[in-house]
Amino acid sequence: MIEAEIYEERDGRISAFSVHGHSGTAPKGQDIVCAGVSALAQTALLGLGRHLHRDVDYHIEPSGDLRMKLREAPDDLSEAILRTMRLGLAEIAKAYPDAVRVRIRKESGR
């Protein structure tokens, strides 16, 4: 199962996310569920860094696991990218509930 965790600040803005695991719906390299989740997460990371020029800490494992955290407080533009990612992940989880789980975690920081 793919586990996606979205971390929200006290004000509800997204400050971090992690995605790990495999859906198991098809062999590696042919799994459209894994590909969809991966594309959403990596596109969000690219959008934050290359388009918005936000400083982020991130780590991508060879297995495909990805963790990202904003270094600064979320703003309206970073929120738009991360909310869009969250919407896409939620839709995939709705279509494949046995393969993808999205959890929202509340952060106590900032």
Residue with tokens 């738009």: 80
- Whether the Cβ atoms of residue 2 and residue 100 lie closer than 8 Å to each other: yes
How far apart are alpha carbons 30 and 50 in whole angstroms?
Answer: 28
Q: Indicate if the pLDDT at residue 109 is higher than 60.
A: no
42 CB contacts (<8 Å, ≥6 apart)?
66
- On the question of pLDDT at 110 being above 80, the answer is no
pTM of the model: 0.92
Q: Does domain 22-106 have CATH number 3.30.70.1490?
A: yes
In tens, the pLDDT along 20-56 reads 999 999 988 899 999 999 999 999 999 999 999 999 9
